[in-house]
Amino acid sequence: MLANLKSLGYDKMTAIQLKSLPYILKNQDVIAQAKTGSGKTAVFGLGLLSKLSVKNYHVQALVLCPTRELAEQVGQEIRRLARFTHNIKLLSLCGGKPFAPQRESLAHGAHIIVGTPGRIQDHLRKNTLNLRNVQTLVLDEADRMLDMGFYDDMMNIISFMPKQHQTLLFSATFQDSIVQMSSSIQKNPVNIQVESLHSHSEIEQHFYEIKAPQLRNEALITLLAHYQPKSSVIFCNTKQQCQELAIFLKEKGHYAIALHGDLEQRERDQVLLIFANKSCSILVATDVAARGLDIEDIQIVINYELSPNVHIHRIGRTGRAGKKGLALSLYTAYEQHKITTITKLQNQPCCCDDLASLDDKGTPCPPPMSTICIDGGKKNKVRPGDILGALTGEIGIASNQVGKINIFDFYSYVALDRNIANNVLNKLQNNKIKGRQFKVRKLGKI
């Protein structure tokens, strides 16, 4: 395990890991407060893996997450942590994906389940999931699950589990509802609190007042023209606002894409993939859709409108893993009470600046990469090496011109240097991968 952790770059424990891991390994219940990007997934991942019996193919650990995206990321991280042990089976049970394949996988047993409350309940109702042998329950981002109305769902799921099990509750805030929930489901939990707020040295914040709500778009263009971010997330309060803003930014020459709850799962996967592999500079998102978003090197978070209850979660998308970040917020005079609330929540004053002080530093630069989609994936036995070999072999491009390669069941996505993407797309349509011809197309602007 230690050798695997070293290979993953885990050289030093974070504060939350240092304080909570000893208690978790002693099988004690823990309620922990930690900000986003603090390394909490590794904490409970190592804890549940440490007492797993690989020979027994029944569910021994359950991790509940508020959204599909967070559940997928948690599952990926636990798989990375589990590489030192062979034959560990982890299943992701989330909505937005077909039920039948999940049912069939569960029929063959699993050690760890990571999922969302709704889909977990679906399986429990249809008797396709057995939780009678669960030793460890993890509630990740429990405050968000309560905000989304999952309290009854979580309590129902817990009723299917043995009375004697370890419960690990992680939350960015310790609101009264979290404390009440802990008292009803945990036994003498150890209370762990580390720095749950983002200091100015980690995330620099600036608040800009606008004279009227209808001037938000104009103010946003001013922010983008001045700061010139290569990667930014803009938070909106509604799905409609999110979609309309993405269209507006595209019309202004920006490379923007929207992420919200009305998108189908495959569309959501594509949006996140395009943004993560640097084929799009701006992600315009709602809070629910972006919950659990863990993408490297997000330079700037912009709050199109203020939302005090999720402000700390929003700005935590930047300045992750020890890097510095920048958070910009727009507000009107009528929202001064929200500024006051945010000041109290983060226990530090809000730095309010003048938009007129910002200068226009030029037109937006295109993102460095473009993404192509290949109609072949895991079910076609396509591997990253097969795609890379075709690109660097027959087509003859340099390996450093190829970015991330993501393989799904029936599709593969490849990030390519923007300058050569069109040329590669044309050639790949007439070349074979692993001896087979696959349809190839571009995603978004290329």
Q: Residue 42, CB half-sphere, CA atoms under 13 Å: how many? A: 23
Pairing of strands 203-209, 325-331: parallel
State mean pLDDT over 226-238.
Answer: 93
Residue 301 lies in a domain: yes
Residue 177 lies in a domain: yes
Residue 265 lies in a domain: yes
Residue 182 lies in a domain: yes
* Residues 51 and 163 placed together within one structural domain of the fold: yes
Please state the domain count of the chain.
3
% of the chain residues with pLDDT over 90: 52
* Residues 295 and 428 placed together within one structural domain of the fold: no
Q: Taking a C-beta distance cutoff of 8 angstroms, is the pair 39, 114 a contact?
A: no
Domain around 284: 203-357
Q: Taking a C-beta distance cutoff of 8 angstroms, is the pair 297, 249 a contact?
A: no
* Residues 165 and 309 placed together within one structural domain of the fold: no
List pLDDT tens digits, range 23-34. Answer: 999 999 999 987
Residue 273 lies in a domain: yes
List pLDDT tens digits, range 262-276. Answer: 888 788 888 988 998
pLDDT at 131: 96
Residue 385 lies in a domain: yes
User: If you search the block for the tokens 């036994």, which residue do you land on?
Assistant: 187
Q: Taking a C-beta distance cutoff of 8 angstroms, is the pair 170, 48 a contact?
A: no
Q: Give the integer Cα–Cα distance in Å for 205 and 338.
A: 15
Number of Cβ within a 10 Å radius of residue 25: 12
Q: What is the CATH number of the domain that holds 435?
A: 3.30.70.330
- Rounded-to-10 torsion of CA 5, 322, 198, 139: -20
Q: What is the CATH number of the domain that holds 88?
A: 3.40.50.300
pLDDT at 446: 42
pLDDT at 445: 54
Checking if the pLDDT of 150 tops 80, the result is yes
State mean pLDDT over 243-251.
Answer: 94
Q: What is the edge-to-edge ordering of all strands in the sheet holding 412-417?
A: 402-407, 412-417, 369-374, 440-443
Structure-block tokens of residue 98: 């077909």
User: If you search the block for the tokens 């309309």, which residue do you land on?
Assistant: 244
* Residues 243 and 331 placed together within one structural domain of the fold: yes
Report the range of poorest mean pLDDT among 10-19, 191-200, 406-415. Answer: 191-200
Last residue of a domain, one of 172, 193, 214: 193
Residue 426 lies in a domain: yes
* Residues 64 and 180 placed together within one structural domain of the fold: yes
Checking if the pLDDT of 290 tops 70, the result is no
* Residues 185 and 40 placed together within one structural domain of the fold: yes
**Predicted confidence band of residue 201 (pLDDT cuts 50, 70, 90):** low
**Predicted confidence band of residue 296 (pLDDT cuts 50, 70, 90):** confident
pLDDT at 303: 95
Rg (CA), the chain: 23
10 Å CB burial of residue 264 (0-12, 13-18, 19+) is: exposed
* Residues 179 and 212 placed together within one structural domain of the fold: no
Checking if the pLDDT of 146 tops 60, the result is yes
* Residues 396 and 305 placed together within one structural domain of the fold: no
Q: Give the integer Cα–Cα distance in Å for 183 and 163.
A: 15
If phi > 0 it is left, if psi is from -120 to 50 it is alpha, else beta; for residue 321 that is left
State mean pLDDT over 384-397.
Answer: 88
* Residues 179 and 307 placed together within one structural domain of the fold: no
pLDDT at 321: 60
Q: Taking a C-beta distance cutoff of 8 angstroms, is the pair 371, 401 a contact?
A: no
Last residue of a domain, one of 193, 224, 255: 193
Structure-block tokens of residue 253: 């020459």
Q: Give the integer Cα–Cα distance in Å for 225 and 246.
A: 16
**Predicted confidence band of residue 430 (pLDDT cuts 50, 70, 90):** confident
Distance, C-alpha 153 to centroid of its chain: 22
* Residues 162 and 208 placed together within one structural domain of the fold: no
pLDDT at 444: 67
Q: Give the integer Cα–Cα distance in Å for 184 and 181.
A: 5
pLDDT at 13: 87
Residue 364 lies in a domain: no
Q: Which of 13-22, 117-126, 193-202 has the highest mean pLDDT?
A: 117-126
pLDDT at 431: 85
10 Å CB burial of residue 36 (0-12, 13-18, 19+) is: buried
Structure-block tokens of residue 332: 């009107």
Structure-block tokens of residue 176: 């009264």
Checking if the pLDDT of 293 tops 70, the result is no
User: If you search the block for the tokens 């057995």, which residue do you land on?
Assistant: 130
* Residues 133 and 260 placed together within one structural domain of the fold: no
% of the chain residues with pLDDT over 70: 95
Cα–Cα distances (Å) from 243 to 87, 239, 271, 397, 441, in that order, read 43, 6, 13, 36, 24
Last residue of a domain, one of 312, 335, 357: 357
Beta strands (DSSP E) in 74-150 are 90-93, 112-115, 136-139
* Residues 65 and 214 placed together within one structural domain of the fold: no
Q: Give the integer Cα–Cα distance in Å for 37 and 298.
A: 12
Checking if the pLDDT of 199 tops 60, the result is no
Q: Please name every residue paired with 136 in a beta bridge, in sequence order, or none if there are none.
A: 61, 166
Q: Taking a C-beta distance cutoff of 8 angstroms, is the pair 288, 261 a contact?
A: yes
Backbone φ, ψ for residue 325 (5° rounding): -130, 175
**Predicted confidence band of residue 257 (pLDDT cuts 50, 70, 90):** very high
* Closest C-alpha to 428, from 366, 376, 367: 376
Question: What integer best gives the mean pLDDT of the chain?
Answer: 88
pTM, rounded to two decimals: 0.70
List pLDDT tens digits, range 52-84. Answer: 999 998 999 999 998 888 898 899 999 999 988
